[in-house]
A and B are shown apart, each in its own frame.
Chain A
Amino acid sequence: MGITSKKEFEKNDFPVLDSYEGGSIILTQLDALVNWARSNSVWPLTFGTRCCAIEFMAVGASRHDMARFGYEVARATPRQADMIIISGSINYKMAPVLKRLYDQIADPKYVIAMGACAVSGGPFYYNSYSIVKGADHVIPVDIYVPGCPPRPEALLYAFLQLQKKIKREKNFKKQLKK
């Protein structure tokens, strides 16, 4: 077996070079290995403000079961979590709290804005005096999931998109260049 083509390399993160009895040799980049590990173990924070939180719970429960994709359990403290799912609207009283929670998460951290409220203010965009018009006014958002509330499948799709995004990250190249 020779070195696989570039196309094949992109398809599988880890092309198998050769197989022996008792093991095989894998050739890959350090980036790919780290991202593979990271993207398959992203633990969300239990953070829910409004109705979307119920759909988030449904995703965590038996039928939809987000643990299939490596989003194993929701942690109650930001120090053990890797990502926030902003499920519901954020108002001006809550915004500093959200910012503090985000700051407490260890890097690398990711944010999914779930539902119209977190994306843009949703049903509370017009005439509401206390809702922040989109959670991205407070913290940076990686993935936006529209819907009021989004279906569990939509959130699962967002999880997959986030994994794709994590896999594209370059952690080491930059440092080597420097």
Chain B
Amino acid sequence: MAEFSEKYIITDEIKADEYLVNIGPQHPSTHGVLRLLTRLEGEIVHNVEPHIGYIHSGIEKMTEALSYPQIVHLTDRMDYLSAHMNNEAVCLCVENALQVEVPERVKYIRTIFDELQRLASHQLWWCASGMDLGALTAFFYGLRDREDILDIFEETCGARLTLNYSVPGGVMFDIHPNFQKSVKAFITKFRKKLPEYDKLLTDNIIFQNRTKGVGVLSKEDAIAFGVTGPTGRASGFSCDVRKHHPYSAYPYIKFDEKLGTDGDSFMRWKVRMDEMWESMNIIEQLIDNIPEGDFAVKMKGVIKLPEGEFYQRVESARGEFGVYIVSDGKKNPYRVKFRSPGFSNLFTINHIAKGWKIADLVAIMATFDLVIPDIDR
């Protein structure tokens, strides 16, 4: 059991027996190009300062020269593991601004894709964080099952990762005739596979000892730091956008918002595992009832938003994703801001990792599920 050493928490000036260790920007446990400047005494972390910007690409500036349908295709390069949710956010924002009502069929298809994408993202998180904690088998198990979802994506929209499936007004093409069949087959299969995941890691005593009680984030802190998604929900912060501000087909279905109690690394883990069950329940409620109809409404060739400001929030796999568009009535936006969940989540790391050992810092990072281009944009 990892020990929390409270007496070592000292913040400000660097003492004689402290030293600085630089983790990253190229380090496997930072899940990308994040740099953590840690101040240690022995193995104990005194301070963590995240340095970002190693993959900053100026997407917000780029959007100012693009038209709205073009912006959609840039968004899945940010949080590529929840590509479809990002696409959907921009589409919903544009549709709301123009007051276009999309067909029911589109809503159902988008929601099913959301949940499939969430499953794929959590699977990847599971295998990557298992790898961080020293279980290489997880890597192979997780990616093996993820390929099945990618096959479904590929069948319908031709892409595996960067889907580009949503467009303002609907989806790009209709679903593949086999779509329902293969989704159902996948769910039956994955319901059997998921207990394997638990057997391998969740019930594993070594794993539990490394994560239980480590890196506790209280509910008040989660709200104050704006920590959303499974990470925030593990602390008991009810922040599910699907529940509180439902969009697409979420108003029609019943599902539980999984809330944790203690907010430690194990609870963050557990909430994500439970969300996978919940996602499958959501898909099962929708998959047989996809209504007939068009898969898109006809939009104008050149989409111009009315003057004003529009904000749309969706629940991506990492938390609340927001799009803020300021329009001056032209075909390009005046300013676009993407509120990325990772940005807010990352900066709590200093708050909760202080006093833990450096190996616990890796466990905390693993359960935060960070995607760096999402933070840097």
Binding site for B on A (CB under 8 A): 46-51, 53-55, 57-58, 61-63, 76, 88-89, 91, 93-94, 97, 101, 123-124, 126-131, 148-149, 151
Contacts and interface: CB of A to CB of B under 8 A. Distances in A.
Contact of A55 (B32, B62, B160): B160
Contacts of A123: 73-74, 77
A149 B140 contact: no
A49 B32 contact: yes
A46 B27 CA distance: 8
B162 A149 contact: yes
A82 to B, nearest CB: 16
A62 B58 CA distance: 35
A43 B198 CA distance: 32
B187 interface: no
Interface stretch (B48-56, B107-115, B208-216, B342-350): B48-56
Contact of A127 (B65, B76, B77, B124): B65
B143 A46 contact: no
Contact of B77 (A48, A51, A62): A51
B225 interface: no
24 contacts: A48-B32, A49-B32, A49-B55, A51-B373, A53-B32, A54-B80, A57-B128, A58-B146, A61-B127, A61-B140, A63-B143, A63-B144, A93-B53, A93-B54, A94-B33, A94-B55, A101-B26, A123-B73, A123-B74, A123-B77, A124-B58, A129-B61, A148-B162, A151-B160
A137 to B, nearest CB: 16
Contact of A130 (B27, B58, B73, B81): B58
Contacts of A148: 162
Contact of B65 (A46, A76, A126): A126
Interface string B159-180: 0111000000000000000000
B28 interface: yes
A51 B80 contact: yes
Contacts of B160: 55, 149, 151
Nearest to B124: A54
Contact of A50 (B62, B77, B144): B77
Nearest to B164: A148
B144 to A, nearest CB: 4
A50 B80 contact: yes
Given A50-B77, A50-B80, A124-B57, 8 more contacts: A46-B28, A50-B55, A51-B161, A51-B373, A57-B139, A61-B143, A63-B143, A123-B74
Contacts of B101: none
Q: Which of A76, A93, A94, A130 has the most CB of B within 10 A?
A: A93
B147 A51 contact: no
Interface in B67-90: 73-74, 76-77, 80-81
A94 B27 contact: no
B25 interface: yes
A54 B65 contact: no
Contacts of B73: 123
Contacts of B57: 89, 91, 124, 128, 130-131
Contacts of A53: 32
Contacts of B372: 49
A115 B309 CA distance: 35
A28 to B, nearest CB: 37
Contact of B25 (A88, A94, A124, A126): A94
A47 B143 CA distance: 18
B162 A62 contact: no
Contacts of A151: 160
B149 to A, nearest CB: 12
A47 B28 CA distance: 8
Contacts of A46: 28
A53 B128 CA distance: 12
Nearest to A50: B373
B62 A62 contact: no
A63 B150 CA distance: 12
Contact of A97 (B25, B28, B74): B25
